[in-house]
Chain A
Amino acid sequence: MRDRPFIVGGLVVFLAFVTAPVWRGLATTKATLAPPQIKSPAKEKQCVAPVSYMRASHMQLLDDGREDVVRTGQRKYVAYNGKVYDKSLTETCLGCHGSRQEFCDRCHNYSGVSTLNCWNCHSDAPQIARSSP
Protein backbone atom coordinates (compact mmCIF):
# COMPACT_ATOMS: atom_id res chain seq x y z
CA MET A 1 0.00 0.00 0.00
CA ARG A 2 3.02 2.23 0.33
CA ASP A 3 3.18 2.59 -3.47
CA ARG A 4 -0.32 4.10 -3.80
CA PRO A 5 0.90 7.73 -4.30
CA PHE A 6 3.29 6.64 -7.00
CA ILE A 7 0.67 4.60 -8.84
CA VAL A 8 -2.01 7.31 -8.67
CA GLY A 9 0.51 10.00 -9.54
CA GLY A 10 1.75 7.97 -12.49
CA LEU A 11 -1.80 7.42 -13.74
CA VAL A 12 -2.55 11.15 -13.50
CA VAL A 13 0.60 12.00 -15.46
CA PHE A 14 -0.25 9.35 -18.06
CA LEU A 15 -3.83 10.59 -18.49
CA ALA A 16 -2.65 14.17 -18.77
CA PHE A 17 -0.14 13.15 -21.41
CA VAL A 18 -2.63 11.11 -23.44
CA THR A 19 -5.37 13.74 -23.38
CA ALA A 20 -2.96 16.65 -23.97
CA PRO A 21 -4.03 17.20 -27.61
CA VAL A 22 -7.67 17.55 -26.52
CA TRP A 23 -6.81 20.22 -23.94
CA ARG A 24 -4.59 22.01 -26.40
CA GLY A 25 -7.35 21.98 -29.00
CA LEU A 26 -9.82 23.42 -26.49
CA ALA A 27 -7.35 26.06 -25.35
CA THR A 28 -6.59 27.39 -28.82
CA THR A 29 -9.80 28.71 -30.37
CA LYS A 30 -8.53 29.78 -33.80
CA ALA A 31 -9.99 27.75 -36.70
CA THR A 32 -7.61 25.53 -38.61
CA LEU A 33 -8.06 25.19 -42.38
CA ALA A 34 -11.11 26.72 -44.07
CA PRO A 35 -12.90 24.42 -46.51
CA PRO A 36 -12.03 25.33 -50.09
CA GLN A 37 -14.48 27.52 -51.98
CA ILE A 38 -14.91 25.93 -55.39
CA LYS A 39 -16.25 28.25 -58.05
CA SER A 40 -19.24 26.94 -60.02
CA PRO A 41 -18.74 26.86 -63.77
CA ALA A 42 -19.98 30.03 -65.45
CA LYS A 43 -21.48 28.53 -68.59
CA GLU A 44 -23.16 25.41 -67.18
CA LYS A 45 -25.74 25.14 -64.44
CA GLN A 46 -25.93 21.37 -64.25
CA CYS A 47 -23.28 18.69 -63.85
CA VAL A 48 -23.50 15.26 -65.47
CA ALA A 49 -25.00 13.93 -62.22
CA PRO A 50 -26.53 15.55 -59.09
CA VAL A 51 -24.01 17.35 -56.86
CA SER A 52 -24.53 14.93 -53.96
CA TYR A 53 -23.74 11.97 -56.20
CA MET A 54 -20.70 13.68 -57.71
CA ARG A 55 -19.34 14.53 -54.25
CA ALA A 56 -19.66 10.99 -53.00
CA SER A 57 -19.06 8.88 -56.12
CA HIS A 58 -17.22 10.91 -58.78
CA MET A 59 -14.35 8.45 -58.59
CA GLN A 60 -16.67 5.58 -59.51
CA LEU A 61 -18.11 7.60 -62.40
CA LEU A 62 -14.62 8.40 -63.71
CA ASP A 63 -13.48 4.82 -63.36
CA ASP A 64 -16.54 3.44 -65.16
CA GLY A 65 -16.13 6.04 -67.91
CA ARG A 66 -12.52 5.11 -68.41
CA GLU A 67 -13.42 1.43 -68.66
CA ASP A 68 -16.23 2.15 -71.15
CA VAL A 69 -14.15 4.33 -73.47
CA VAL A 70 -10.90 2.42 -73.45
CA ARG A 71 -12.10 -1.15 -73.30
CA THR A 72 -15.53 -1.21 -74.92
CA GLY A 73 -15.43 1.91 -77.11
CA GLN A 74 -18.59 3.46 -75.63
CA ARG A 75 -17.72 7.13 -75.69
CA LYS A 76 -21.10 8.76 -74.93
CA TYR A 77 -22.50 9.29 -71.45
CA VAL A 78 -26.25 9.75 -71.05
CA ALA A 79 -26.86 11.86 -67.95
CA TYR A 80 -29.79 11.36 -65.56
CA ASN A 81 -31.62 14.22 -67.27
CA GLY A 82 -31.18 12.70 -70.72
CA LYS A 83 -28.38 15.00 -71.88
CA VAL A 84 -25.56 13.26 -73.77
CA TYR A 85 -21.92 14.01 -72.95
CA ASP A 86 -18.57 12.82 -74.28
CA LYS A 87 -16.79 10.70 -71.69
CA SER A 88 -13.66 12.83 -71.59
CA LEU A 89 -11.75 13.95 -68.53
CA THR A 90 -9.97 16.83 -70.21
CA GLU A 91 -12.69 18.01 -72.57
CA THR A 92 -15.93 17.40 -70.63
CA CYS A 93 -14.94 17.54 -66.94
CA LEU A 94 -12.26 20.21 -67.13
CA GLY A 95 -14.09 21.93 -69.99
CA CYS A 96 -16.51 23.19 -67.34
CA HIS A 97 -14.51 23.04 -64.16
CA GLY A 98 -11.39 24.82 -65.37
CA SER A 99 -8.04 23.38 -64.50
CA ARG A 100 -6.97 20.60 -62.24
CA GLN A 101 -5.33 23.10 -59.86
CA GLU A 102 -8.52 25.13 -59.52
CA PHE A 103 -10.83 22.16 -59.13
CA CYS A 104 -9.50 18.70 -58.32
CA ASP A 105 -6.44 19.62 -56.30
CA ARG A 106 -8.15 22.09 -53.98
CA CYS A 107 -10.56 19.56 -52.51
CA HIS A 108 -8.13 16.68 -52.59
CA ASN A 109 -5.41 18.68 -50.83
CA TYR A 110 -7.89 19.93 -48.24
CA SER A 111 -9.16 16.46 -47.40
CA GLY A 112 -5.72 14.88 -47.67
CA VAL A 113 -6.86 12.34 -50.25
CA SER A 114 -4.43 11.44 -52.98
CA THR A 115 -5.67 11.37 -56.57
CA LEU A 116 -4.79 8.64 -59.00
CA ASN A 117 -1.99 9.64 -61.34
CA CYS A 118 -4.46 10.86 -64.00
CA TRP A 119 -2.35 13.85 -64.91
CA ASN A 120 0.81 11.97 -65.79
CA CYS A 121 -0.86 11.39 -69.13
CA HIS A 122 -4.10 13.37 -69.40
CA SER A 123 -3.81 17.04 -70.19
CA ASP A 124 -5.02 19.50 -67.57
CA ALA A 125 -5.09 22.42 -69.98
CA PRO A 126 -8.65 22.35 -71.34
CA GLN A 127 -8.38 25.99 -72.47
CA ILE A 128 -6.28 24.85 -75.40
CA ALA A 129 -8.50 21.81 -75.90
CA ARG A 130 -11.62 23.96 -76.25
CA SER A 131 -10.15 26.43 -78.71
CA SER A 132 -8.93 23.77 -81.15
CA PRO A 133 -11.48 21.86 -83.27
Chain B
Amino acid sequence: MKMTRKRFLQLCGLSLIAAIAKKVMQGAATSATSQSAKAIRWGMAIDLAKCRRKDGCSGCIKACHSAHNVPQFADRAHEVKWVWKQPFEDVFPFAQTQYTREVNAGLPVLLMCNHCDDPPCIDVCPVNATWRTDDGVVTIDFHRCIGCRYCMAACPYGSRSFNWQDPRPAIQKVNPNFPTRTKGVVEKCNFCEERLAKRLAPLCVEACEEKALVFGDLEQPDSEIRKLLRSRFALQRKPELGAGPSVYYLI
Protein backbone atom coordinates (compact mmCIF):
# COMPACT_ATOMS: atom_id res chain seq x y z
CA MET B 1 0.00 0.00 0.00
CA LYS B 2 1.43 3.30 -0.95
CA MET B 3 1.40 6.01 1.77
CA THR B 4 0.23 9.42 0.74
CA ARG B 5 1.83 12.59 2.05
CA LYS B 6 -1.41 13.51 3.84
CA ARG B 7 -1.64 10.11 5.59
CA PHE B 8 2.03 10.36 6.75
CA LEU B 9 1.49 13.78 8.31
CA GLN B 10 -1.68 12.53 10.06
CA LEU B 11 0.23 9.60 11.61
CA CYS B 12 3.05 11.90 12.78
CA GLY B 13 0.55 14.19 14.49
CA LEU B 14 -1.26 11.31 16.21
CA SER B 15 1.94 9.77 17.60
CA LEU B 16 3.08 13.18 18.89
CA ILE B 17 -0.22 13.61 20.76
CA ALA B 18 0.08 10.09 22.23
CA ALA B 19 3.66 10.73 23.44
CA ILE B 20 2.71 14.02 25.12
CA ALA B 21 -0.33 12.43 26.78
CA LYS B 22 1.85 9.67 28.25
CA LYS B 23 4.36 12.20 29.66
CA VAL B 24 1.59 14.23 31.26
CA MET B 25 0.04 11.15 32.89
CA GLN B 26 3.41 10.00 34.29
CA GLY B 27 4.15 13.47 35.66
CA ALA B 28 0.82 13.58 37.47
CA ALA B 29 1.40 10.13 39.00
CA THR B 30 4.90 10.93 40.37
CA SER B 31 3.88 14.27 41.85
CA ALA B 32 1.01 12.54 43.66
CA THR B 33 3.33 9.95 45.26
CA SER B 34 6.03 12.46 46.22
CA GLN B 35 3.39 14.57 47.93
CA SER B 36 2.36 11.70 50.22
CA ALA B 37 5.85 10.32 51.00
CA LYS B 38 7.76 13.56 51.48
CA ALA B 39 11.13 13.30 53.18
CA ILE B 40 11.67 14.36 56.76
CA ARG B 41 14.43 16.79 57.64
CA TRP B 42 14.84 17.19 61.39
CA GLY B 43 16.04 20.58 62.51
CA MET B 44 16.36 22.72 65.61
CA ALA B 45 15.83 26.36 66.42
CA ILE B 46 17.60 27.77 69.47
CA ASP B 47 16.19 30.96 70.97
CA LEU B 48 19.34 32.66 72.26
CA ALA B 49 17.50 35.12 74.52
CA LYS B 50 15.56 32.32 76.25
CA CYS B 51 18.70 30.18 76.43
CA ARG B 52 20.51 32.92 78.37
CA ARG B 53 17.65 33.66 80.73
CA LYS B 54 19.08 31.51 83.50
CA ASP B 55 22.72 32.35 84.15
CA GLY B 56 25.09 29.42 83.83
CA CYS B 57 22.32 26.96 83.03
CA SER B 58 23.59 23.73 81.51
CA GLY B 59 20.65 21.38 82.00
CA CYS B 60 20.56 20.32 78.35
CA ILE B 61 24.28 19.57 78.28
CA LYS B 62 24.11 17.52 81.47
CA ALA B 63 21.05 15.59 80.27
CA CYS B 64 22.66 14.77 76.94
CA HIS B 65 26.06 13.84 78.29
CA SER B 66 24.81 11.61 81.08
CA ALA B 67 22.32 9.76 78.86
CA HIS B 68 24.80 9.24 76.04
CA ASN B 69 27.73 8.22 78.25
CA VAL B 70 29.91 11.13 77.14
CA PRO B 71 33.19 10.98 79.08
CA GLN B 72 34.48 13.99 81.03
CA PHE B 73 38.25 14.22 80.83
CA ALA B 74 40.10 16.73 82.95
CA ASP B 75 42.67 17.22 80.18
CA ARG B 76 41.20 19.54 77.53
CA ALA B 77 43.27 17.85 74.82
CA HIS B 78 41.13 14.74 75.35
CA GLU B 79 37.83 16.59 75.58
CA VAL B 80 34.76 14.79 74.19
CA LYS B 81 31.57 16.83 73.71
CA TRP B 82 28.18 16.45 72.06
CA VAL B 83 26.58 19.72 73.17
CA TRP B 84 28.59 22.66 74.45
CA LYS B 85 28.75 26.45 74.76
CA GLN B 86 31.04 29.02 73.18
CA PRO B 87 31.10 32.83 73.33
CA PHE B 88 28.99 34.69 70.76
CA GLU B 89 31.96 36.43 69.11
CA ASP B 90 33.60 33.05 68.37
CA VAL B 91 30.44 31.53 66.91
CA PHE B 92 29.17 34.48 64.85
CA PRO B 93 32.19 36.77 64.37
CA PHE B 94 30.57 38.68 61.49
CA ALA B 95 27.04 38.91 62.84
CA GLN B 96 27.74 42.04 64.84
CA THR B 97 28.61 45.68 64.54
CA GLN B 98 31.19 47.59 66.52
CA TYR B 99 28.39 48.69 68.88
CA THR B 100 26.83 45.29 69.53
CA ARG B 101 30.23 43.71 70.00
CA GLU B 102 30.50 44.89 73.59
CA VAL B 103 26.95 43.84 74.41
CA ASN B 104 27.36 40.36 72.99
CA ALA B 105 30.90 39.75 74.21
CA GLY B 106 31.15 36.52 76.14
CA LEU B 107 27.48 35.65 75.82
CA PRO B 108 27.24 31.87 75.56
CA VAL B 109 25.82 30.21 72.45
CA LEU B 110 24.71 26.58 72.60
CA LEU B 111 26.45 24.44 69.99
CA MET B 112 26.02 20.93 68.67
CA CYS B 113 26.29 19.03 65.41
CA ASN B 114 24.43 21.00 62.73
CA HIS B 115 23.19 17.88 60.91
CA CYS B 116 23.90 19.61 57.62
CA ASP B 117 21.98 19.16 54.41
CA ASP B 118 25.18 18.49 52.52
CA PRO B 119 27.64 17.46 55.23
CA PRO B 120 31.33 17.63 54.31
CA CYS B 121 32.22 15.11 57.01
CA ILE B 122 30.45 12.23 55.25
CA ASP B 123 32.19 12.83 51.93
CA VAL B 124 35.65 12.33 53.38
CA CYS B 125 34.98 9.17 55.42
CA PRO B 126 36.98 6.41 53.71
CA VAL B 127 34.91 3.58 55.20
CA ASN B 128 31.36 4.97 55.01
CA ALA B 129 31.16 4.97 58.80
CA THR B 130 29.26 8.27 58.80
CA TRP B 131 26.30 9.20 56.63
CA ARG B 132 23.10 11.23 56.50
CA THR B 133 19.94 9.25 57.20
CA ASP B 134 16.71 9.76 55.25
CA ASP B 135 15.49 11.90 58.19
CA GLY B 136 18.40 14.31 57.80
CA VAL B 137 20.37 13.08 60.82
CA VAL B 138 24.13 12.83 60.33
CA THR B 139 25.08 9.67 62.16
CA ILE B 140 28.13 7.51 62.91
CA ASP B 141 28.51 3.73 62.86
CA PHE B 142 31.00 3.21 65.68
CA HIS B 143 31.48 -0.41 64.58
CA ARG B 144 32.88 0.77 61.29
CA CYS B 145 34.84 3.88 62.35
CA ILE B 146 38.59 3.35 61.96
CA GLY B 147 39.54 6.55 63.77
CA CYS B 148 41.26 8.31 60.87
CA ARG B 149 39.72 11.67 61.95
CA TYR B 150 39.24 12.92 58.38
CA CYS B 151 35.66 13.86 59.34
CA MET B 152 36.96 15.97 62.21
CA ALA B 153 39.17 17.88 59.80
CA ALA B 154 36.30 18.28 57.33
CA CYS B 155 33.67 19.51 59.81
CA PRO B 156 33.70 23.32 59.77
CA TYR B 157 31.94 23.48 63.14
CA GLY B 158 34.22 21.38 65.34
CA SER B 159 31.28 19.16 66.20
CA ARG B 160 33.23 15.94 66.34
CA SER B 161 35.43 14.60 69.13
CA PHE B 162 37.94 11.78 69.15
CA ASN B 163 38.41 9.19 71.86
CA TRP B 164 42.13 9.35 72.46
CA GLN B 165 41.81 6.92 75.36
CA ASP B 166 39.28 4.47 76.78
CA PRO B 167 36.29 6.66 77.72
CA ARG B 168 34.78 4.29 80.29
CA PRO B 169 36.87 5.33 83.31
CA ALA B 170 35.90 8.96 82.60
CA ILE B 171 32.14 8.28 82.69
CA GLN B 172 30.70 8.95 86.13
CA LYS B 173 27.67 6.68 85.85
CA VAL B 174 27.26 4.50 82.76
CA ASN B 175 23.76 4.45 81.28
CA PRO B 176 23.45 0.77 80.30
CA ASN B 177 20.74 1.47 77.73
CA PHE B 178 23.16 3.36 75.49
CA PRO B 179 26.54 2.01 74.41
CA THR B 180 29.69 3.80 75.46
CA ARG B 181 32.33 4.37 72.81
CA THR B 182 35.75 2.83 72.67
CA LYS B 183 39.27 4.15 72.26
CA GLY B 184 39.96 5.22 68.68
CA VAL B 185 36.51 6.25 67.39
CA VAL B 186 35.02 9.64 66.59
CA GLU B 187 31.74 10.69 68.23
CA LYS B 188 29.29 13.59 68.15
CA CYS B 189 25.64 14.55 68.72
CA ASN B 190 23.26 12.11 67.04
CA PHE B 191 20.12 14.30 67.36
CA CYS B 192 18.94 11.60 69.82
CA GLU B 193 18.32 9.24 66.94
CA GLU B 194 17.47 6.48 69.42
CA ARG B 195 14.69 8.69 70.82
CA LEU B 196 13.45 9.84 67.40
CA ALA B 197 12.91 6.15 66.57
CA LYS B 198 10.47 6.08 69.53
CA ARG B 199 8.86 9.36 68.36
CA LEU B 200 10.38 11.32 71.26
CA ALA B 201 12.05 14.72 71.00
CA PRO B 202 15.79 14.99 71.66
CA LEU B 203 16.83 15.05 75.32
CA CYS B 204 18.22 18.59 75.24
CA VAL B 205 14.85 19.89 74.01
CA GLU B 206 13.07 18.04 76.80
CA ALA B 207 15.58 19.09 79.46
CA CYS B 208 15.40 22.83 78.69
CA GLU B 209 13.21 24.48 81.32
CA GLU B 210 13.02 27.75 79.38
CA LYS B 211 11.78 25.94 76.25
CA ALA B 212 14.53 27.67 74.32
CA LEU B 213 15.04 24.72 71.98
CA VAL B 214 12.42 23.94 69.35
CA PHE B 215 12.75 20.71 67.41
CA GLY B 216 10.78 19.77 64.31
CA ASP B 217 10.55 18.77 60.69
CA LEU B 218 11.95 21.47 58.41
CA GLU B 219 10.15 19.93 55.42
CA GLN B 220 6.70 20.53 56.96
CA PRO B 221 5.63 24.09 56.13
CA ASP B 222 3.14 24.18 59.03
CA SER B 223 5.46 22.78 61.71
CA GLU B 224 6.26 24.88 64.78
CA ILE B 225 9.89 25.29 63.78
CA ARG B 226 8.98 26.47 60.29
CA LYS B 227 6.53 29.03 61.72
CA LEU B 228 9.28 30.32 64.03
CA LEU B 229 11.80 30.53 61.22
CA ARG B 230 9.29 32.46 59.10
CA SER B 231 8.48 34.98 61.80
CA ARG B 232 11.84 35.50 63.51
CA PHE B 233 15.27 36.51 62.28
CA ALA B 234 17.55 33.50 62.47
CA LEU B 235 21.25 32.79 61.94
CA GLN B 236 22.96 29.66 60.75
CA ARG B 237 26.62 28.96 61.49
CA LYS B 238 28.85 29.69 58.50
CA PRO B 239 26.09 29.55 55.88
CA GLU B 240 28.55 30.75 53.21
CA LEU B 241 30.18 27.30 53.21
CA GLY B 242 27.04 25.80 51.71
CA ALA B 243 26.81 22.84 54.06
CA GLY B 244 23.27 23.86 55.00
CA PRO B 245 23.09 23.52 58.80
CA SER B 246 19.76 22.31 60.25
CA VAL B 247 20.38 24.14 63.54
CA TYR B 248 19.14 27.74 63.55
CA TYR B 249 19.75 30.49 66.09
CA LEU B 250 16.83 32.86 66.73
CA ILE B 251 18.05 36.37 67.43
Contact (Cβ within 8 A) A122 B179: yes
Determine the interface band of chain B, counting residues with CB < 8 A from chain A: 10 to 19
Chain B minimum-CB-distance residue to A70: B141
B172 at the interface (CB under 8 A from A): no
Inside 8 A of B143's CB, which chain A residues have their CB?
Answer: 66, 70
A132 at the interface (CB under 8 A from B): yes
The distance from the CB of A103 to the nearest CB of chain B, in whole angstroms, is: 16
Binds B, one of A15-23, A32-40, A123-131: A123-131
Contact (Cβ within 8 A) B177 A121: no
Contact (Cβ within 8 A) B177 A129: yes
B174 at the interface (CB under 8 A from A): yes
A112 at the interface (CB under 8 A from B): no
Per-residue CB contact flags for chain A residues 97-133 toward chain B (1 = under 8 Å, else 0) read 0000000000000000000010011110110110010
The distance from the CB of B222 to the nearest CB of chain A, in whole angstroms, is: 25
Inside 8 A of B174's CB, which chain A residues have their CB?
Answer: 123, 125
Partner of A126, one of B142, B176, B179: B176
Contact (Cβ within 8 A) A121 B197: no
User: A117-B182, A120-B182, A121-B142 given as contacts; is B177 within 8 A of A73 (CB)?
Assistant: no
B133 at the interface (CB under 8 A from A): yes
Chain A minimum-CB-distance residue to B196: A73
A71 at the interface (CB under 8 A from B): yes
Inside 8 A of A120's CB, which chain B residues have their CB?
Answer: 180, 182-183
Contact (Cβ within 8 A) A90 B177: yes
B181 at the interface (CB under 8 A from A): yes
Contact (Cβ within 8 A) B182 A121: yes
Inside 8 A of B179's CB, which chain A residues have their CB?
Answer: 90, 121-123
Contact (Cβ within 8 A) B177 A132: yes
Give the most central of A71, A91, A121, A129: most B CB within 10 Å. A121
Per-residue CB contact flags for chain A residues 66-87 toward chain B (1 = under 8 Å, else 0) read 1000110101000000000000
Bound CA–CA A75/B199 (angstroms): 13
Inside 8 A of A128's CB, which chain B residues have their CB?
Answer: 176
Contact (Cβ within 8 A) B182 A129: no
Bound CA–CA A132/B181 (angstroms): 21
Inside 8 A of A126's CB, which chain B residues have their CB?
Answer: 176
The distance from the CB of A45 to the nearest CB of chain B, in whole angstroms, is: 25
Inside 8 A of B193's CB, which chain A residues have their CB?
Answer: 73
Inside 8 A of A125's CB, which chain B residues have their CB?
Answer: 174, 176
Contact (Cβ within 8 A) A73 B197: yes
Contact (Cβ within 8 A) A71 B142: no
Inside 8 A of A70's CB, which chain B residues have their CB?
Answer: 141, 143
The distance from the CB of B59 to the nearest CB of chain A, in whole angstroms, is: 20
Contact (Cβ within 8 A) B180 A121: yes
The distance from the CB of B130 to the nearest CB of chain A, in whole angstroms, is: 11
Contact (Cβ within 8 A) A73 B176: no
Bound CA–CA A91/B142 (angstroms): 19
Bound CA–CA A75/B183 (angstroms): 26
Contact (Cβ within 8 A) A91 B177: yes
Cross-chain pairs A/B with CB under 8 angstroms, 11 sampled? A73-B197, A91-B177, A117-B182, A120-B180, A120-B182, A120-B183, A121-B181, A123-B176, A126-B176, A128-B176, A129-B176
7 nearest interchain CB pairs? A123-B176, A120-B182, A121-B179, A129-B176, A128-B176, A122-B179, A70-B141
18 new A-B contacts, CB < 8 A, other than A121-B180, A121-B182, A129-B177, are A73-B133, A73-B197, A90-B176, A90-B177, A91-B177, A120-B180, A120-B182, A120-B183, A121-B179, A123-B174, A123-B176, A123-B177, A123-B179, A123-B180, A125-B174, A125-B176, A129-B176, A132-B177
